Amino acid sequence: MFSVLRQFKTFLDKAILTFCGVAIVTLVITVTWQVFSRYVLNDPSSFTDELARYTMIWFGLAGASYLFGKNGHLAITLFIGSVKAKHRKYFHVAINLISVAFISLAMVKGGMLLMSRTMTQFSPALQIPMAYVYLILPLSGIIMLTYIVLSTLEMFAPAQPAQEGE
């Protein structure tokens, strides 16, 4: 069972990294076009500024979800590193419970409320519902919650046998 969970986590990591790669390429292209159209053509593109802004929001929250899955958040690593080794597992579970409460309320529930309130509001240049922009809040919250569950289960998993060549 734990090998399936590890494979799922690897798949999720790759999916998020792929999305972030596409997002960064989109950012580079849209910002480059914005600069070119503004300073060379003297006719600034109206949609690229908005597209770059929304892509940056999605990129930032997707990247934060990935970092959360790697236990790379600064506060988590500093706190866990300062606790005695025999107590780390308990504090890690406590941090996970606090994180679940915050993410569930602020990102998932709050994001869903924000989406429902902005479904009829459209962005000025792209003319898409603003709810699509805010969709990343509950989506990244669900990804973070998934990583928390996987991380907690992994703490109690039996040690992996050493692979050849390690």
- How high is the pLDDT of residue 160? 63
Q: Which two tokens stand for residue 56?
A: 């940056």
Q: How far apart are CA 163 and CA 101, in angstroms?
A: 37
Q: Are 145 and 100 in contact (CB under 8 A)?
A: yes
The 3 state secondary structure assigned to the chain is CHHHHHHHHHHHHHHHHHHHHHHHHHHHHHHHHHHHHHHCCCCCCCHHHHHHHHHHHHHHHHHHHHHHHCCCCHHHHHHHHCCCHHHHHHHHHHHHHHHHHHHHHHHHHHHHHHHHHHCCCECCCCCCEHHHHHCHHHHHHHHHHHHHHHHHHHHCCCCCCCCCCC
Among 63, 56, 23, CA closest to 143: 63
pLDDT at 75 over 70: no
**Confidence band, pLDDT 50/70/90 cuts, at residue 12:** very high
- How high is the pLDDT of residue 164? 52
**Confidence band, pLDDT 50/70/90 cuts, at residue 166:** very low
25-38, pLDDT tens digit by residue?
Answer: 999 999 999 999 99
